Structure 1
Amino acid sequence: MTRKETALSLLVMSLAIAIPSTSMANQCESASFSPMPNVALMVVALEETPKPHCRVVGVIGTETEFELLLPDDWNGKFIMGGSGGFAGNFDNAAEGYWGVVENGWATVSTDTGHKGSNVSAVWALNNLERQVSFGFQAVHRTAVTAKALISEYYGSESQRDLFFGCSRGGGQALMAAQRSPDVFDGIYAGAPAYSWTKEMAGRWTHDAQIMYPDPNQITTPVIDADALVVLGGAIMDHCDALDGLEDGILNDPRQCDFDVSTLTCGEGQTNQCLSLEQVAAAKAIYGDAEFGGSFWPGTPMGAELPGNPLGWATWITGGYVDGADIDFHPGSEESAFESPKIPNARWGFATELMKYFFYGNPDWTYEGYDFSEFAHHAARLSPTIDADNPDLSEFRANGGKLIIDNGWMDGSLTAYGTIAYYESVLEFDPTALDDVRLFVRPGVTHCRGGPGPDGTDYIAALEDWLDTGVAPDQLDAPYASPAPGRPPTGQGGRIICAHPGVVTYNGSGAPNDPMSFSCRVPQ
């Protein structure tokens, strides 16, 4: 072969990697994939929407299923999407939030080794394999398998490997950084459910006992809908203007010094006030809690008003309504599986964890529960399901970059807990600041939504960081989805700041102009 022919051959090969040929359709069949140990492909089929791609559904080992989408117009990159709740389906946050297949990304998701409603844990009863798969094993095995299938399908390894997840997917993201440090180049961990034992089992059981003292009465919480309006309205009246704008957003809820006791009903008063029991319950939700030798911080102020779709009404107060499912996670698929009867999402996750992970007893109830045995079971489960290891040295040594975030108005996973993990990473190794960033988004609820701007493109942010080596201290935050209290989609936005920076209004300028804001560190 001449040098000219060799050069032409190399050019053709490079183009084949960057722009797959129209013969991709001929490769989308089971026979195109070589046998892999412990992997069986169940579906290999062409799909036309949202863009032409090959859909591959397979099973790893006993029952860890995955769905891999291979676009015809591949960009040479791979992104794994995290799941929500207890998983049990192919929820893919990367595809659900950003439509990555339309942009040429190969993407994969996993059911984490079981099928079921993503608010039910009955599948975990006395099944260690499923618990381990859910905790960390399924994501690792799925990612490694997907990368091998991608390489064979396109004839080239992916040139960039990202993980994008929020809520449960955010916990999966942190677990991947801790346990699979050489699998992904960049990781986004949104509103990470990383402490299943302390926060979701312990703290949320503590809160369930407060909001529904009788576990058999789950229709009306201690803080009912009327009381929630009073509480949320009073907090906004007192604190909304502290950041310079009255916009239904607390840029930094830590500035809010509202005393809930001032809402206590006086003698003969019944309207626009709270009972002693309601005041005590609110203080308990906001305050730090100790239980069974563990500690977890409370919920920031500002997410109480019922208009917040993923605030207190969904996660903390609520009330069981026959036949109504709780939509607790944006972008989740509708489940064909029956969900347990729950008054709010925290109550549901806490009781399911305690029944099927902690005690292996479907009849367990928190009635009279005193947490005396909690520490023992938490210590047994934590290595499997908690992603709280602050040592990210291996991931960083491989060039990995990690972005963590939480919404200040998240009624689910408290931003204070996410901040605590991030600070533990920096305390373990201060140089981690070079490779890890945390953003706490004002006015944003669970993963997205709320009156604040929630359209930050974290995939683009990770790519830019990996390309330039420059860590982001500030990111654009457009208004990406319709919501009460915000301008129409595409009309303006703000910024978000890397912690400990706080989004600060400059005192003048349009409230939906990013130039009206800057990042400042509280003194």
Structure 2
Amino acid sequence: MKVQSIAAGFGAHKMRLMAVTTALAASATASVASTGECNVAGIPSFPDMSVISADAVSEPAAYCRVIGRIGTETEFELLLPDEWNGKFIMGGSGGFAGNFDNMANDAFNVVTDGWATVSTDTGHKGSNIVASWALNNLERQVSFGFQAVHRTAVTSKAIIADFYGTESQRNIFLGCSRGGGQAMMVAQRSPDVFDGIYAGAPAYSWTKEMAGRWTHDAQIMYPDPNQITTPVIDADALAILGGGIMEHCDALDGLKDGILNDPRQCDFDVASLTCGEGETNQCLSPEQVAAAKAIHGEAEFGGISWPGTPMGVELPGNPLGWLIWISGGYVEGAEMDFHPGSEQSAFEEPPIPNATWGFATQMMKYFFYNDPDWTYEGYDFSDYAHHAERLSSSVDADNPDLSEFRANGGKLILDNGWMDGSLTAYGTINYYESVLALDPTARDDVRLFVRPGVTHCSGGPGPDGTNYIAALEEWLDTGVAPDQLDAPFVDPRTRQPDGRGGRIICAHPSVVTYDGSGDPNSPESFRCEVP
């Protein structure tokens, strides 16, 4: 297998590196200057890997930008700072990838702090909401699923060791959405590559959630796949739905602030919004009520089930809630910014009414059925399970056994926003609880944080400024697992504190709990409490 061959190719190189006497200074702030030169000849190449370009960059920090190719077509972008802090961080991408999106550098600008950092296109180029590249191409499907990230990581670590004359002393993976699924995949399949891993809003079940559940939801919101302009629950109905839920449940946590600290406490009956005889305003039709209940509820399809979307995500003002992910409506020429930090795609995108509709139909066309003309019209999931089983081993990161990663000293933080309209927090909770069901001691090395008021990866009315890199580093340094973390309110553009203070987030199963009288923008007014 190619992964094994390239790893073997690094063996002799690693033995040579072990003889290098240069050691990193004990101080965390010590830096290492490069011993290599920033040009193609100065960057080492390895079996089945080549350097495409290497260019010196001066802003926002001085670093060497390396573009390389592994195997047939897996490309990566590796940033090597002139003053290296001795650490390596890999950033995950969004959607179907196809570019060099790097959450670590996009969100935290890690290269300015001296981190060497890498990202990969996962073996293809294209818009991150298009999967036509996967048509009848098993190599690309496997590269996307897990192989590209693994090979990029081990290749990058080898380049770093050669370029600086010593191996990285800390290795972290940071990803959200598809990157969160990549993070879970490396914890399960590459357990000795990274010390600390952050998996935010993880897209870890492509067959069950993104193909199955989202196709189910597409059939509910757009029963006719040829009519994608107006959803069953349009913007007016969505405002009524979201308003009714917030009116009933917003103050349950002690604060009327547009945030449900724990949506599981919300017992709102959507049927109470049903229009009465002759009533047409500020109410929902029976079809809209049924659709809302189906989106909120557990869905069964093809012999499996998947949880629904938490209440509290519906408000039209939620930038990454129902309007982008679940309801929406196709508008010609409109661009859909569904993943924070993603570069604007230069590739053509298909007409889609919302992001889950887009991902589901792309998965079905190009992974499940290898048929660009496939639609869900009349689709009954009768052969869904067969195709899901065939694909799952390549694209799903749902194995709860993290024993090897933990045995290597690894620490994993899982995260989801309660207001995420795409990857339901209930699905992430279910995975985490399956890890603990297999081995209750896993909580020593794996923690889950479900963030109130936070949408997909970031944004929303809740405080979403938690620095997960710092949290992982502290955990790795001290060995003390975090029970709670600071959560500042931040500017969504700069990710810097915006002056409003902050709150806390709590390790599951604890819930952020207000003290009833303190400043709602102060962490001291909140505690973590198990329901």
TM-score band, normalised by shorter chain: over 0.9
Out of 185, 192, 195, the position equivalent to 2:205 is: 195
Q: Residue 524 of structure 2 corresponds to which residue in structure 1?
A: 515
Residue 123 of structure 2 is aligned to residue 105 of structure 1: no
| Aligned residues of 1:325 and 1:339 also touching (Cα < 8 A) | no
Out of 8, 22, 31, the position equivalent to 1:19 is: 31
1:346: how far off?
0.4
| Structure 2 gap ranges (5+) | 1-19
Residue 171 of structure 2 is aligned to residue 161 of structure 1: yes
Q: The residue matched to 1:394 in structure 2 has which SS? A: helix
Instruction: Tell me the distance in 2 between the aligned counterparts of 1:421 and 1:132.
Output: 22
Q: The residue matched to 2:415 in structure 1 has which SS? A: strand
Q: Residue 343 of structure 1 corresponds to which residue in structure 2?
A: 353
Shift of the 251–12 alpha-carbon distance from structure 1 to 2, 3 Å rule, reads: closer
Q: The residue matched to 2:278 in structure 1 has which SS? A: coil
Out of 485, 507, 511, the position equivalent to 1:498 is: 507
Q: Residue 58 of structure 1 corresponds to which residue in structure 2?
A: 68
Q: The residue matched to 1:459 in structure 2 has which SS? A: helix
1:15: how far off?
9.6
1:50: how far off?
1.5
1:11: how far off?
8.9
Instruction: Tell me the distance in 2 between the aligned counterparts of 1:127 and 1:108.
Output: 25
Instruction: Tell me the distance in 1 between the aligned counterparts of 2:284 and 2:363.
Output: 32
Q: Residue 142 of structure 2 corresponds to which residue in structure 1?
A: 132
| Structure 1 gap ranges (5+) | 1-8
| Aligned residues of 1:221 and 1:317 also touching (Cα < 8 A) | yes
AA aligned to 2:79 is L
Out of 210, 221, 225, the position equivalent to 2:231 is: 221
Deviation by residue 1:233-264 (Cα, 9 ceiling, x = unmatched): 11000000000000000000000000000000
Q: Residue 255 of structure 2 corresponds to which residue in structure 1?
A: 245
Residue 395 of structure 2 is aligned to residue 379 of structure 1: no
Out of 68, 76, 87, the position equivalent to 1:77 is: 87
1:482: how far off?
4.3
Instruction: Tell me the distance in 2 between the aligned counterparts of 1:350 and 1:472.
Output: 36
Identity among equivalent pairs (%): 77
Q: Residue 463 of structure 1 corresponds to which residue in structure 2?
A: 473
Residue 103 of structure 2 is aligned to residue 93 of structure 1: yes
- The runs of 4+ residues in structure 1 deviating greater than 3 Å are 9-18
Residue 58 of structure 2 is aligned to residue 48 of structure 1: yes
Q: The residue matched to 1:490 in structure 2 has which SS? A: strand
Q: Residue 6 of structure 1 corresponds to which residue in structure 2?
A: none
1:143: how far off?
0.1
Deviation by residue 1:120-175 (Cα, 9 ceiling, x = unmatched): 00000000000000000000000000000000111110000000000000000000
Instruction: Tell me the distance in 2 between the aligned counterparts of 1:355 and 1:14.
Output: 53
Q: The residue matched to 1:475 in structure 2 has which SS? A: strand
| Aligned residues of 2:67 and 2:75 also touching (Cα < 8 A) | yes
Instruction: Tell me the distance in 2 between the aligned counterparts of 1:13 and 1:500.
Output: 39
Instruction: Tell me the distance in 1 between the aligned counterparts of 2:171 and 2:177.
Output: 20
Q: The residue matched to 2:486 in structure 1 has which SS? A: strand
AA aligned to 2:176 is C
Please show how residues 305-384 of structure 1 align to structure 2 within 5 Å: 305-384=315-394
AA aligned to 1:502 is V
1:400: how far off?
0.2
Q: The residue matched to 1:234 in structure 2 has which SS? A: helix
Please show how residues 388-399 of structure 1 align to structure 2 within 5 Å: 388-399=398-409
1:514: how far off?
0.2
1:19: how far off?
2.6
AA aligned to 1:81 is G
| Aligned residues of 1:191 and 1:406 also touching (Cα < 8 A) | yes
| Aligned residues of 2:24 and 2:32 also touching (Cα < 8 A) | no
Q: The residue matched to 1:188 in structure 2 has which SS? A: strand
Q: The residue matched to 2:281 in structure 1 has which SS? A: coil
AA aligned to 2:351 is K
| Aligned residues of 1:166 and 1:191 also touching (Cα < 8 A) | yes
RMSD of the TM alignment (CA)? 1.8
Q: The residue matched to 1:465 in structure 2 has which SS? A: helix
Instruction: Tell me the distance in 2 between the aligned counterparts of 1:254 and 1:35.
Output: 52
Residue 35 of structure 2 is aligned to residue 32 of structure 1: no
Instruction: Tell me the distance in 2 between the aligned counterparts of 1:14 and 1:517.
Output: 39
1:469: how far off?
0.3
Instruction: Tell me the distance in 2 between the aligned counterparts of 1:247 and 1:34.
Output: 54
The TM-score, its normalising length taken from structure 1, stands at 0.95
Instruction: Tell me the distance in 2 between the aligned counterparts of 1:243 and 1:294.
Output: 33
Q: The residue matched to 1:149 in structure 2 has which SS? A: helix
Q: Residue 3 of structure 2 corresponds to which residue in structure 1?
A: none
Aligned residues: 510
Q: Residue 14 of structure 2 corresponds to which residue in structure 1?
A: none
